């Protein structure tokens, strides 16, 4: 019988610890698939950030470094400057990338560091149990916004791709989602391109992936997908925000 589908070799055999319905698993697969297809696992170093995905150092079979909270892109900068021929990626959540690590994110981007950033936006702090994230939506109920996110006191969500696309150092910024097959396919292409850009020396590439957190959203996996479509996609429109190749500067 012919094998038509199998696990990418850039993933280890370790069982994933993620909750049912969480989309980290899909994104891990897409990253691993890109490394396989580009044949770069052996020269890739991934940076795991603090949050639910911190243990991805056990799941990716390339060399891995675990960074302090928010510092993944500074660590990636050090790795890349030390060994420019290596392929370096960070895998970060919204709290890590857009709250505690905002400075590291903005400055790695504006320096045009030749790295690939995989940004998981699920509008909540997952690992610590569902607190408000920088990307939590207005009115969203979380453990620390029990009456809904009040923009008068808690401010507004950060739209990362829109913000970073204004920086000259950014080569590629695209927002994708993994809520259906069509979008997973688009995400796969975007992630591969973000790695290809690095190999081609194009500069800083970021793919923002709208993801679900059924556990902390208090929804079933199917309800969570619908919540993402009804609430997140309108606030965080999918698409290419910057692509220096295609001449898309700022959407």
Angle at 178 between CA 174 and CA 183, to 5 degrees: 70
- Of residues 64 and 219, the one with the C-beta less far from other proteins: 64
- Of residues 16 and 154, the one with the C-beta less far from other proteins: 16
Nearest to 91 by CA among 59, 58, 121, 49: 49
Least distance CB 115 / other proteins (angstroms): 10
Tokens of 169: 């150092």
241 vs 251: CA distance, rounded Å = 5
Least distance CB 43 / other proteins (angstroms): 4
- Of residues 140 and 215, the one with the C-beta less far from other proteins: 215
224 vs 212: CA distance, rounded Å = 6
Dihedral (C-alpha) 95, 96, 97, 101: value to the nearest 10 degrees?
110
Q: Would you tell me which residues interact with other proteins (CB under 8 A)?
A: 12, 41-45, 47-48, 54-55, 57-58, 60-68, 71, 74-83, 86-87, 103-104, 106-107
Least distance CB 112 / other proteins (angstroms): 13
**Which residues are bridge partners to 209 per DSSP?**
120, 176
- Of residues 104 and 243, the one with the C-beta less far from other proteins: 104
55 vs 148: CA distance, rounded Å = 30
- Of residues 127 and 233, the one with the C-beta less far from other proteins: 127
Least distance CB 49 / other proteins (angstroms): 11
Nearest to 169 by CA among 198, 144, 202, 136: 202
Write out the DSSP string of 162-222: HHHTTSTTEEEEEEEE-SSHHHHHHHHHHHHHHHHHHHTT--EEEEEEE---HHHHT--HH
173 vs 208: CA distance, rounded Å = 8
- Of residues 75 and 186, the one with the C-beta less far from other proteins: 75
Least distance CB 47 / other proteins (angstroms): 8
Least distance CB 77 / other proteins (angstroms): 5
- Of residues 66 and 145, the one with the C-beta less far from other proteins: 66
Least distance CB 29 / other proteins (angstroms): 17
SS3 48: strand
């Amino acid at each position: 019988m012919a094998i038509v589908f199998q696990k990418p070799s850039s993933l280890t055999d370790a069982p994933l610890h993620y909750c049912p319905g969480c989309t980290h698993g899909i994104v891990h697969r897409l990253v691993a698939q890109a490394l396989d297809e580009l044949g770069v696992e052996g020269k890739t170093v991934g940076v795991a950030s603090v949050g639910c995905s911190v243990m991805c150092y056990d799941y990716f079979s390339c060399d891995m470094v675990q960074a302090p909270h928010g510092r993944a892109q500074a660590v990636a900068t050090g790795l890349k400057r030390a060994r420019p021929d290596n392929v370096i990626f960070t895998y970060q959540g919204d709290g890590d990338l857009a709250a505690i690590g905002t400075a590291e994110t903005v400055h790695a981007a504006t320096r045009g560091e030749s790295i690939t950033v995989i940004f998981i936006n699920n509008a909540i702090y997952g690992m610590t149990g569902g607190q408000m994230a920088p990307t939590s939506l207005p009115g969203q109920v979380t453990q620390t916004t029990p009456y809904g996110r009040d923009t008068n006191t808690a401010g507004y969500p950060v739209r990362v791709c829109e913000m970073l696309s204004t920086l000259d150092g950014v080569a590629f910024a695209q927002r994708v989602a993994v809520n259906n097959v069509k979008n997973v396919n688009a995400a796969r292409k975007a992630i591969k391109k973000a790695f290809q850009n690095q190999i081609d020396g194009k500069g800083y590439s970021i793919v923002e992936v709208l993801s679900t957190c059924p556990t902390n959203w208090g929804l079933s996996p199917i309800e969570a997908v619908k919540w993402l479509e009804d609430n997140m996609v309108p606030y965080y429109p999918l698409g290419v925000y910057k692509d220096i190749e295609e001449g898309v500067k700022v959407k």
